[in-house]
Chain A
Amino acid sequence: MGIEGIGARVARKEDKRFVTGLGRYVDDMVVPGMKYAVFVRSPHAHAAIRSIDTSAAKTMPGVIGVLTGPELKSDGIGNLICGWMIHSKDGSPMKMGAWSPLATDKVRYVGDAVAIVVAESRSLARDAAEAVAVEYDELPAVTDAVKALEAGAPQIHPEAANNLIYDWELGDAAATDQAIAGAAHVTRMRIVNNRLIPNAIEPRAALGHYNPAEDHFTLWTTSQNPHVARLVMSAFYNVAPENKLRVIAPDVGGGFGSKIYIYPEEVVCLWASKRTGVPVKWVADRTESFLCDAHGRDHVTEVAMAFDTDNRVVGLKVDTIANFGAYMSLFSSCVPTYLYATLLSGQYAFPHIHCNVRAVYTNTAPVDAYRGAGRPEATYVLERVMETAARELGMSPAELRRRNFIREFPHQTPVIMNYDGGDYEASLNAAMQAADYAGFPARREEAKRRGKLRGIGMSCYIEACGLAPSQAVGSLGAGVGLWESAEVRVNAAGTIEVLTGSHSHGQGHETTFAQVVADRLGLPLDQVSIVHGDTDKVQMGMGTYGSRSGAVGISAIVKALDKVETKAKKIAAHLLEADEGDIVIENGEVKVAGTDRSLPWFQVALAAYTAHNLPAGMEPGLKETAFYDPTNFTFPAGCYICEVEIDPETGVTEIVQFVAADDFGTIINPLIVEGQVHGGITQGVGQALLEGCVYDPTSGQLVTASYMDYTMPRAADVPSFKVSTTSTPSPSNPLGIKGCGEAGAIGSPPAVINAITDAIGNNDLTMPATPQRVWAALRKAQ
Chain B
Amino acid sequence: MADISMVINGREVRGSVEDRTLLVHFLREHQGLTGTHVGCDTSQCGACVVHVDGKAVKSCTMLAAQASGSEVTTIEGLAKDGHLHPVQAAFKEHHGLQCGFCTPGMIMAAVDMIRRYPGGLDEKTVRAELEGNICRCTGYHNIVKAVLAASEAMSKPAVAA
Asked whether any CB of chain B lies closer than 8 Å to the CB of A680, the reply is yes
Asked whether any CB of chain B lies closer than 8 Å to the CB of A758, the reply is no
Cα(A28)–Cα(B76), bound, Å: 14
Docked-complex contact A19 and B103, CB < 8 angstroms: yes
Docked-complex contact A201 and B99, CB < 8 angstroms: yes
> Which single residue of chain A is at the shortest CB-CB distance from B130?
A715
Cα(A217)–Cα(B76), bound, Å: 32
Question: Given A286-B42, A707-B45, A712-B134, does the pair A506, B128 have CB atoms closer than 8 Å?
Answer: no
Cα(A123)–Cα(B22), bound, Å: 11
Asked whether any CB of chain A lies closer than 8 Å to the CB of B56, the reply is no
Pick from B75, B88, B98: contact of A507, CB under 8 Å: B98
Asked whether any CB of chain A lies closer than 8 Å to the CB of B67, the reply is no
Question: Given A253-B99, A678-B142, does the pair A21, B76 have CB atoms closer than 8 Å?
Answer: yes
Asked whether any CB of chain A lies closer than 8 Å to the CB of B121, the reply is no
The smallest C-beta distance from B81 to any residue of chain A, in angstroms, reads: 13
Pick from A21, A254, A287: contact of B104, CB under 8 Å: A21
Asked whether any CB of chain A lies closer than 8 Å to the CB of B143, the reply is yes
Name the residue in B39, B74, B79 with the highest tally of chain A Cβ atoms < 10 Å from its Cβ: B39
> Which single residue of chain B is at the shortest CB-CB distance from A255?
B99
Docked-complex contact B98 and A679, CB < 8 angstroms: yes
B102 proximity list for chain A (CB < 8 A)? 201, 253
Q: Mark A638-674, 1 if CB is under 8 A from B, else 0.
A: 0000000000000000000000000000000001101
Pick from B28, B104, B134, B137: contact of A714, CB under 8 Å: B134
Docked-complex contact B41 and A201, CB < 8 angstroms: no
B140 proximity list for chain A (CB < 8 A)? 678, 682, 713-715, 718
Interface residues of B in 62-121 (CB under 8 A from A): 74-76, 78-79, 84, 88, 91-93, 95, 97-104, 107
Cα(A359)–Cα(B34), bound, Å: 42
Interface residues of A in 1-54 (CB under 8 A from B): 11-12, 14-25, 27-28, 30
Asked whether any CB of chain A lies closer than 8 Å to the CB of B53, the reply is no
Asked whether any CB of chain A lies closer than 8 Å to the CB of B155, the reply is no
Docked-complex contact A254 and B99, CB < 8 angstroms: yes
Q: Give the total of A residues in contact with B, Cβ under 8 Å.
A: 58
Asked whether any CB of chain A lies closer than 8 Å to the CB of B138, the reply is yes
The smallest C-beta distance from B38 to any residue of chain A, in angstroms, reads: 7
Chain B interface, >50% SS class:
loop
Docked-complex contact A21 and B74, CB < 8 angstroms: yes
Cα(A628)–Cα(B76), bound, Å: 40
The smallest C-beta distance from B70 to any residue of chain A, in angstroms, reads: 19
Name the residue in A201, A679, A681, A718 with the highest tally of chain B Cβ atoms < 10 Å from its Cβ: A201
Docked-complex contact B98 and A675, CB < 8 angstroms: yes
The smallest C-beta distance from B78 to any residue of chain A, in angstroms, reads: 7
B123 proximity list for chain A (CB < 8 A)? 720
Asked whether any CB of chain A lies closer than 8 Å to the CB of B37, the reply is yes
Cα(A437)–Cα(B76), bound, Å: 48
B47 proximity list for chain A (CB < 8 A)? 201
A256 proximity list for chain B (CB < 8 A)? 136
Asked whether any CB of chain A lies closer than 8 Å to the CB of B5, the reply is no
A508 proximity list for chain B (CB < 8 A)? 98
Docked-complex contact A12 and B42, CB < 8 angstroms: no
Docked-complex contact B98 and A19, CB < 8 angstroms: no
Asked whether any CB of chain B lies closer than 8 Å to the CB of A408, the reply is no
Docked-complex contact B101 and A720, CB < 8 angstroms: no
Question: Given A254-B136, A716-B127, A720-B141, does the pair A202, B20 have CB atoms closer than 8 Å?
Answer: no
Name the residue in A252, A674, A706, A716 with the highest tally of chain B Cβ atoms < 10 Å from its Cβ: A716
Cα(A674)–Cα(B94), bound, Å: 11
Asked whether any CB of chain B lies closer than 8 Å to the CB of A151, the reply is no
B122 proximity list for chain A (CB < 8 A)? none
> Which single residue of chain B is at the shortest CB-CB distance from A251?
B100
Asked whether any CB of chain B lies closer than 8 Å to the CB of A632, the reply is no
Cα(A35)–Cα(B44), bound, Å: 28
Docked-complex contact B37 and A202, CB < 8 angstroms: yes
Docked-complex contact A671 and B137, CB < 8 angstroms: no
Docked-complex contact B98 and A716, CB < 8 angstroms: no
Cα(A718)–Cα(B126), bound, Å: 12
Asked whether any CB of chain B lies closer than 8 Å to the CB of A442, the reply is no
Asked whether any CB of chain A lies closer than 8 Å to the CB of B6, the reply is no
> Which single residue of chain A is at the shortest CB-CB distance from B88?
A19
| A-B pairs under 8 A by CB, number | 185
Cα(A683)–Cα(B42), bound, Å: 21
Pick from A23, A674, A679: contact of B137, CB under 8 Å: A679
A681 proximity list for chain B (CB < 8 A)? 139
B32 proximity list for chain A (CB < 8 A)? 30
The smallest C-beta distance from A146 to any residue of chain B, in angstroms, reads: 30
Cα(A18)–Cα(B47), bound, Å: 12
Q: Mark A702-721, 1 if CB is under 8 A from B, else 0.
A: 00001110001111101011
Question: Given A679-B137, A718-B140, A721-B141, does the pair A201, B101 have CB atoms closer than 8 Å?
Answer: yes
Pick from B45, B79, B97, B131: contact of A715, CB under 8 Å: B131
Asked whether any CB of chain A lies closer than 8 Å to the CB of B35, the reply is yes
> Which single residue of chain A is at the shortest CB-CB distance from B99?
A506
Question: Given A678-B141, A679-B139, does the pair A286, B99 have CB atoms closer than 8 Å?
Answer: no
Cα(A285)–Cα(B97), bound, Å: 23
Cα(A247)–Cα(B20), bound, Å: 34
Name the residue in B47, B97, B102 with the highest tally of chain A Cβ atoms < 10 Å from its Cβ: B97
Name the residue in A18, A22, A23, A507 with the highest tally of chain B Cβ atoms < 10 Å from its Cβ: A18
Cα(A419)–Cα(B134), bound, Å: 38
B28 proximity list for chain A (CB < 8 A)? 27-28
Pick from A20, A201, A285, A674: contact of B134, CB under 8 Å: A201
Question: Given A20-B88, A715-B130, does the pair A707, B42 have CB atoms closer than 8 Å?
Answer: yes
Pick from B18, B103, B144: contact of A18, CB under 8 Å: B103
Docked-complex contact B35 and A706, CB < 8 angstroms: no
Docked-complex contact A715 and B126, CB < 8 angstroms: yes
Question: Given A19-B91, A202-B99, A675-B95, does the pair A708, B42 have CB atoms closer than 8 Å?
Answer: yes
Asked whether any CB of chain B lies closer than 8 Å to the CB of A200, the reply is yes
B153 proximity list for chain A (CB < 8 A)? none
Asked whether any CB of chain B lies closer than 8 Å to the CB of A770, the reply is no
The smallest C-beta distance from A290 to any residue of chain B, in angstroms, reads: 10
Name the residue in A20, A507, A720 with the highest tally of chain B Cβ atoms < 10 Å from its Cβ: A20
Pick from A202, A505, A715: contact of B143, CB under 8 Å: A715
Docked-complex contact B128 and A23, CB < 8 angstroms: no
The smallest C-beta distance from B114 to any residue of chain A, in angstroms, reads: 15
The smallest C-beta distance from B93 to any residue of chain A, in angstroms, reads: 6
Asked whether any CB of chain B lies closer than 8 Å to the CB of A199, the reply is yes
Asked whether any CB of chain A lies closer than 8 Å to the CB of B135, the reply is yes
Docked-complex contact B79 and A20, CB < 8 angstroms: yes
Cα(A714)–Cα(B137), bound, Å: 11
> Which single residue of chain A is at the shortest CB-CB distance from B92?
A15
Cα(A708)–Cα(B95), bound, Å: 29
Asked whether any CB of chain A lies closer than 8 Å to the CB of B2, the reply is no
A712 proximity list for chain B (CB < 8 A)? 134, 136
Docked-complex contact B100 and A23, CB < 8 angstroms: yes
Docked-complex contact B134 and A12, CB < 8 angstroms: no
Docked-complex contact A682 and B139, CB < 8 angstroms: yes
Cα(A507)–Cα(B35), bound, Å: 20
Docked-complex contact B76 and A707, CB < 8 angstroms: no
B4 proximity list for chain A (CB < 8 A)? none
Cα(A253)–Cα(B131), bound, Å: 20
Asked whether any CB of chain B lies closer than 8 Å to the CB of A203, the reply is yes
Q: List 13 A-B contacts (CB under 8 A).
A: A19-B103, A19-B107, A20-B88, A22-B76, A201-B47, A251-B99, A252-B99, A253-B39, A254-B101, A674-B142, A675-B141, A682-B140, A706-B41
Q: 3 smallest A-B Cβ distances: which pairs?
A: A21-B35, A253-B101, A18-B100
**A residues neighboring B (CB under 8 Å):** 11-12, 14-25, 27-28, 30, 123, 199-203, 251-254, 256, 283, 285-287, 505-508, 671-672, 674-675, 678-683, 706-708, 712-716, 718, 720-721, 744
**B residues neighboring A (CB under 8 Å):** 18, 20, 28, 32-42, 44-45, 47, 74-76, 78-79, 84, 88, 91-93, 95, 97-104, 107, 123, 126-128, 130-131, 133-145
